[in-house]
Structure 1
Amino acid sequence: MLTQAFETAWSAYLGAGSLLPPSPPPVTPRRVADLADVLDREAIAAVVLDAYGVLHTGSDVVPGAAQAIEDVRRRGLPIRILTNDVTHEPAGVAAGLRRRGLDIRADEVVSGRDLLPEAIAAIGGGAGWGVVAIHPDAIVARFPDLSVMEDLAGTDPAAWDSLDGFVLVDCFHWSRADLAVFGQIMARRPRPLVIPNPDVTCPYDGACTIEPGALGLAAARDHGVAVRFLGKPFPPIYDRLKAAFPGVPAERLLMVGDSPHTDILGARGAGLRCLLVESGLLAGQDATRRFTESGLWPEFIAPAIGAATVTASV
């Protein structure tokens, strides 16, 4: 697992500029106790949950998360998981959440994997492109024209010169040597990237990981690479989400997330309201400072999705 300092990841987000969607207008956040507090006060038609940082942080389930899901179901509200976890198909994400004791069905998960067929079609079915993934077999079974890029650290960067672009699904399995070789590949011959997970970082077992979004932003900045991001905070994933609720105004959909540059930026830019929880990326941070620095503000902020387990910082 590749990790980075929080400030390194935060600086990457702040420096992304025009590569991210435009920021929504600022609002003044209201401090609430938890998700139930918002649902008690507001006319919400459906609840949209991030996974990492909201429901769990890798090995550990966020205290109160299972009870919060149960409460939403008791209220009769639909649930969707909108996640940048694309290592598995949505069914696999749902299975992982159920193993953690979280009551989520496969048809309730939306991720950048849902948009891969359109993206692969746009590059001619993937012929001449490489795919980097922890579990490439499932990807290649669906898109057989893609070439699997394996064992980067043990490969001469020149070995990949013939490929015209890369589908970068995940890099959780990489070492620092893999990271260095990928940088050399992009420097030798800058080529476009398709990235279903635009996250720069993710809270995982107390660390900040390095995610594909960080590599995409660096390739665009350093080598002028064209990057197509498929997940949060980019509009197409929210179009997919909103299509599940025809006739429901976007402002009646509540996004519960932990990252300003993915969850606030994406959700509020798409017209949803947003509850930012401090159990993930901003754990231990001064939330007001981070909102001010980013210019991204949620309508609501809480310590966590359920029972208040994180010290308030606003």
Structure 2
Amino acid sequence: MHAPATAHDLFAAYEAVRAHWPTCPVAAGWQRLPDLAALAPQFDAFCLDAFGVLNIGQTPIAGARERLAALQRLGKPVLVVSNAAAVPSAQIVERYQAMGFALPAQQWLTSRDVMVQAMTRWPMRRWGVVAPAGTDVSDLPAGTLVLNDAHADWDAVEGFVLLSALEGDAATRQRLRDALRRHARPVLVPNADLASPHESGFRLEPGALAHWLQQEAGIEPQWFGKPFAPIFAAALQRLGLEAAPQRVLMVGDTLHTDVLGGRCAGMATALVVGQGASAGLPWTTAIARSGIVPDYVIDRI
């Protein structure tokens, strides 16, 4: 498993796993706009991706904070809908506030939040978290542990939560695969992204590990993040627009997660191509090849 080198490589990786992705009707076409200014009056609420739309790594994208302020002045509800799941959402909110984004916790919905809510409704189970040592799991059910190299831990847990892609850690990846081959158990994946953009390039995300496990161990992961339904249903519920998803605009930088998931949820969608996962991608070709058609294509928010 290696991180994609370019946006084209990431697009190809998503296309390779399309059989496992949701399907929904194709939009008739898209409209090209520079940003969200002309769209602000047309929608009742906005769902925004975080990485690639608000920031790249620890660097805010120019104009993003100002656009958020403009939408708030118009009285438009804004909800950041993110696949970020490595840490509890409270820590993510703090990180973005440190970058100057005036977004309180109630304006955030992460795929980890959605997963944790589901876990609290299920019978008690001893979960093993695939993540680096010291990972904060205080928001997960009692008894959850971060797996280490102890062989017994891998066989004793009753299910796995993927919070890491185990990039560069082939030994641990194989240990997880072997444990699932010996005894199939639920595998929860809050972050379905294959990779995310950072200042230094793309980094693998847990979705890449989950797809590898599908091939290597024959498991069917339980997905919670974009493009899958649970996070979009939670977003519409949070906004109070379950009955009118078409009044919500989902804005993101990835066709296969933000746009596909938003369309399947009945939302209007806008693809950001000026930065993030689609920067440098021949997006007209990508739209035609994938059949994932946004309603709008914008350079930035």
Would the TM-score normalized by the shorter structure come out above 0.5?
yes
Find the counterpart in structure 1 of residue 193 from structure 2. 199
Q: Is the 8 A contact 1:93 1:109 kept in 2?
A: no
SS at match of 1:35: coil
Unaligned ranges ≥5, structure 2: none
Instruction: Quote the offset at 1:293 in angstroms.
Output: 2.0
SS at match of 1:73: helix
Q: Following the alignment from structure 1 to structure 2, what is the Cα–Cα distance between the partners of residues 256 and 27?
A: 18
SS at match of 1:113: helix
Instruction: Quote the offset at 1:100 in angstroms.
Output: 0.8
Find the counterpart in structure 2 of residue 259 from structure 1. 254
Counting only pairs closer than 5 Å after superposition, residues 1-314 of structure 1 correspond to structure 2 as 3-6=3-6, 7-39=8-40, 43-121=42-120, 124-127=123-126, 129-134=127-132, 138-140=136-138, 142-150=140-148, 155=149, 160-171=154-165, 175=169, 178-179=172-173, 181-186=175-180, 189-247=183-241, 249-278=244-273, 279-305=275-301
Q: Following the alignment from structure 2 to structure 1, what is the Cα–Cα distance between the partners of residues 86 and 15?
A: 26
Q: Is the 8 A contact 2:125 2:158 kept in 1?
A: no
C-alpha change, 1:198 and 1:166, in structure 2 (3 Å) is same
Q: Following the alignment from structure 2 to structure 1, what is the Cα–Cα distance between the partners of residues 153 and 91?
A: 32
Select between 133-142 and 248-257 the one with higher mean Cα deviation.
Answer: 133-142
Counterpart amino acid of residue 220 in structure 2 = A
Q: Following the alignment from structure 1 to structure 2, what is the Cα–Cα distance between the partners of residues 15 and 142?
A: 32
SS at match of 1:48: strand
Q: Following the alignment from structure 1 to structure 2, what is the Cα–Cα distance between the partners of residues 53 and 35?
A: 15
Q: Following the alignment from structure 1 to structure 2, what is the Cα–Cα distance between the partners of residues 204 and 24?
A: 32
Q: Following the alignment from structure 1 to structure 2, what is the Cα–Cα distance between the partners of residues 193 and 35?
A: 37
Unaligned ranges ≥5, structure 1: 306-314
Q: Following the alignment from structure 2 to structure 1, what is the Cα–Cα distance between the partners of residues 249 and 202?
A: 26
Q: Following the alignment from structure 1 to structure 2, what is the Cα–Cα distance between the partners of residues 8 and 288?
A: 16
When normalised by structure 1's length, the TM-score is 0.85
Instruction: Quote the offset at 1:179 in angstroms.
Output: 4.2
Instruction: Quote the offset at 1:112 in angstroms.
Output: 1.4
Q: Is the 8 A contact 2:27 2:295 kept in 1?
A: no
CA RMSD of aligned residues (A): 2.5
Q: Following the alignment from structure 2 to structure 1, what is the Cα–Cα distance between the partners of residues 176 and 200?
A: 26
Q: Following the alignment from structure 2 to structure 1, what is the Cα–Cα distance between the partners of residues 122 and 10?
A: 30
Counterpart amino acid of residue 139 in structure 1 = V
Instruction: Quote the offset at 1:62 in angstroms.
Output: 0.9
Instruction: Quote the offset at 1:196 in angstroms.
Output: 0.7
Q: Following the alignment from structure 1 to structure 2, what is the Cα–Cα distance between the partners of residues 70 and 164?
A: 45
SS at match of 2:38: helix
Instruction: Quote the offset at 1:192 in angstroms.
Output: 3.0
Deviation string for 1:3-58 (max 9, x for gaps)?
3334553333112234211133133111001011322xx52101111000000010
Q: Is the 8 A contact 1:93 1:106 kept in 2?
A: no
Q: Is the 8 A contact 2:147 2:153 kept in 1?
A: no
SS at match of 1:10: helix
Instruction: Quote the offset at 1:121 in angstroms.
Output: 4.4
Q: Is the 8 A contact 1:23 1:296 kept in 2?
A: no
Counterpart amino acid of residue 145 in structure 1 = G
Counterpart amino acid of residue 62 in structure 1 = I
Deviation string for 1:112-151 (max 9, x for gaps)?
1222234434663232x3112347664256422223213x
Q: Following the alignment from structure 1 to structure 2, what is the Cα–Cα distance between the partners of residues 190 and 268?
A: 33
C-alpha change, 1:172 and 1:202, in structure 2 (3 Å) is farther
Q: Following the alignment from structure 1 to structure 2, what is the Cα–Cα distance between the partners of residues 121 and 225?
A: 23
Identity value in percent? 29
Q: Following the alignment from structure 2 to structure 1, what is the Cα–Cα distance between the partners of residues 29 and 183?
A: 46
Instruction: Quote the offset at 1:176 in angstroms.
Output: 5.2
Select between 116-125 and 227-236 the one with higher mean Cα deviation.
Answer: 116-125
